[in-house]
Amino acid sequence: MGGLPETATSWRLITDPPRAGVWNMALDEALLEAVRAGQSPPTLRFYGWSPACLSLGAFQPVQAVDAAACRELGIDLVRRPTGGGAVLHDQEVTYSVVLPPAVAGRRPRETYLRISLALLRGLDRLGVRAGFAPAGSHRKSAGPSCFARASDFEVLVDGRKVVGSAQVWRSGSLLQHGAVLLEADRALWARLMGQSDAADGLVGLRELVPGIVPERVVAELAAGFAAEFGVRLVPGHWTRAELELAERLGREKYGCGEWTRRI
C-alpha cells in the first residue's frame, strides 16, 4: 500500500519475557521517547504480562472498572499512555510498534490501517482468516472494555475482535500497541468490567487455532510486519538509556497511584 514513507530498511525487534504491567508500560513509553529523540531505531516489540493486569486507557476513569475486584484477585491495575478502553491482559501476545516521523507519516488513520494490514498478514500465516472493521462502522458499547467496540480498521474474525490496539503520538513519532488474545476468561472480563456482555465481542486465537503457542504467534506477526512495511527485522536489545528511563517512569509514573487514579 502506498502513502507512507519507506525510509527505514531495518527495524529493531525486541522479544521480551512476561513482565508486570507497570514495567511493560514504562518500557513502551521509554521506547517512544528514545525513538522520538532519534536515539533508537524504529522498533517492533513483543511481550507478555505477569501477573495478569487490567490496563486503563489514558483518559478512562478508574471508576469504569472494578478496581476492588482487581485487588481481591491479585490482578494488577495500570494506566496506559495510549487511549481507548480497558483491557484484561493475561493469556495474550502484546505487540508494540514505535516509529519516528519519517516512517510513521503524518496521517494517523493511514498508519493505523497499515499496521492493521501487517497484523492481517501475520494472522493469515497462522491460518486465521481475519478482516478489519470497515471505515465508518464504529461498533460502540457503553461499557468500558476495549473489545466491546470496533473502530475503523480494527482486526476482526467473523465480527469479533481478536486484536485490540491503541495509539499515542508525540512530536510526530508513534507508539501503537495492542493485545492479541490467545484465551479469554469471559466471566472474569464481565466481573472486572462490570458488564455481563463485556467479552461478547472478542475471540481468542486458541478458539481458532487450538494449541497455538505464543512463540509461533510472535514469529508470524513479526513476519507480517516485515512483509507489509518491506523491512528487515533485526533482533536487538534495550539500550542502557532506555532501561534507565523505563526504571524512572515505572517508579515515578506507572507505579504511582496518582497516575493510575488521576481520572
53 belongs to the catalytic site: no
Longest dimension (CA), the chain: 49
* Active-site hit among 53, 70, 146, 256: 146
Q: What is the pLDDT of residue 141?
A: 57
Q: How far apart are the C-alpha atoms of 241 and 36, rounded to whole Å?
A: 13
Q: How far apart are the C-alpha atoms of 128 and 130, rounded to whole Å?
A: 6
Q: How far apart are the C-alpha atoms of 254 and 211, rounded to whole Å?
A: 34
Q: What is the pLDDT of residue 111?
A: 94
Domain ranges for the chain: 10-260
| DSSP letters for 131-156 | EEPPTT--B--SSSBGGG-B-TT-EE
Collapse the DSSP code of 227 into the 3-class scheme (helix H, G, I; strand E, B; otherwise coil) and give the result. helix
Topology (CATH level 3) of domain 10-260: BirA Bifunctional Protein; domain 2 (3.30.930)
Q: What is the pLDDT of residue 8?
A: 64
Residue 86, amino acid: A
Q: What is the pLDDT of residue 225?
A: 98
Alpha carbon separation from 54 to 41, 77, 184 (Å, rounded): 29, 5, 13
Q: What is the pLDDT of residue 1?
A: 42
Backbone angles phi, psi at 24, to 5 degrees: -60, -45
Do residues 29 and 82 touch, judged by C-beta distance below 8 A? no
Model confidence pLDDT, tens digit, residues 101-159: 999 988 999 999 999 999 999 999 999 999 987 666 555 555 788 877 777 889 999 98
| DSSP letters for 23-53 | HHHHHHHHHHHHHHTTSS--EEEEE-BSS-E
DSSP code, position 63? G
pTM recorded for the entire structure: 0.93
Query: Which of the residues in the chain have pLDDT under 50?
Result: 1-3
Q: What is the pLDDT of residue 35?
A: 98
